[in-house]
Every structure is written in structure tokens, then in C-alpha cells.
Amino acid sequence: MTIETAASFFKAVQKDQELEEKIKAVDDAETFVKIAAERGYNFTVEELQAEISTLSPEDLAAVVNPGIGVRCHLIPR
């Protein structure tokens, strides 16, 4: 259930511009988890890392660089 919480937090980040800006300024996992807890999303650093490992490169890029569209290669590598 907490893994689902991390996933729903990633979705919330994509929808909330203020939250996106806060997350962009974060450079460590503990602060990321604290910001999530302030918003009511409770998960651990380990659960966060597990959720990140399940994201596709495009989904991860959307969290890290919100507002930049998905970039796909015309010719797959």
C-alpha cells in the first residue's frame, strides 16, 4: 500500500505546479519523503527507490523535468 502511495505522489507532482517546483529543488531522498509527508503521502526512502525503479524513462523524466514533453527516438536504439 505504501508503494501505491509513492506512485500516487508522483502523479500529484505532475499535476501541481507548486509541488513540481519544490521537488525540482530537492537533492536528497529524505527531503523528498518529508515534502510528500507534508502533503499526506507517507512512504519510506526505500519504498521511494522501489517505485522509481518501476518508472519508465519517460515517466521519470516527467517528474524530474516537468513541463518538458516526452522525447522518443524516431528510430529506436
One-letter identity of residue 3: I
Please state, in angstroms and rounded to a whole number, the distance separating the CA atoms of residues 50 and 19: 21
Q: Indicate the domain borders of the chain.
A: 2-64
Question: What is the sign, positive or negative, of the torsion defined by CA atoms of 31, 34, 35, 36?
Answer: positive
67: alpha, beta or left, given left = phi > 0 and alpha = psi -120 to 50? left
Would you state the pLDDT for residue 37?
92
Percent of the chain with pLDDT over 90: 12
Claim: this prediction has a pTM higher than 0.85: no
Neighbours of 36 (CB within 10 A): 22
Q: Each residue of 10-22: pLDDT tens digit? A: 888 878 888 888 8
Average pLDDT over residues 36-41: 90
